[in-house]
Amino acid sequence: MVKNRVVCYFSASQSEQPIIFRLARDYDLVINIIKADINPQKEGYLVVELSGDKQSYENGLNYLRDLGVRVEPLSQTVVWHEDVCIQCGACTSFCPTGALVITDRETMEVTFDNEKCIVCAMCLDCCPTRAVELHFEVA
């Protein structure tokens, strides 16, 4: 089994093809779309978690590359600036995985666990001091 998070950058012509459907049907991959955005020119990117057996995963990635989709591995995508954070805790009720969390309800301090983060970016909108940032760091 392989499980990886990747960013797929695609052009306008590619965005009109049912890429995700083919990946699932023809390559038997489990696909979790974490984030997606298409601009008015129809170019865009997809942040997806792909899992499947090793051969299917390789074949799926080759299919994407053959189409001309740029595929890059994703790592450490949400950056929490502890020095900018004022510890209000607003993000913690939006974070679906408990990556940003108040563990100790006595101190009410906010902590961030990058391992749990799925880059949904909910925290970006609700943080009043913009202490969380989205970084597309490619390995």
The single-letter code of the amino acid at 19 is I
Number of residues that bind other proteins (CB under 8 A): 18
Token representation of residue 124: 């970006």
If one asks whether residue 126 binds other proteins (CB under 8 A), the answer comes out as yes
- For the purposes of burial, counting CB atoms within 10 Å of the CB of 79, is it exposed (0-12), middle (13-18) or buried (19 or more)? middle
Part of the chain binding other proteins (CB under 8 A), chosen from 8-16, 20-28, 61-69, 88-96 = 88-96
Which residue of 102, 113, 133, 136 would you call a contact of other proteins, by CB under 8 A?
Answer: 102
Tell me the window of 15-23, 57-65, 68-76, 86-94 that interacts with other proteins (CB under 8 A).
Answer: 86-94
State the minimum distance, in angstroms, from the CB of residue 10 to other proteins.
24
Residues in contact with other proteins by CB under 8 A are: 86-90, 92-94, 102, 105, 107-109, 125-126, 128-130
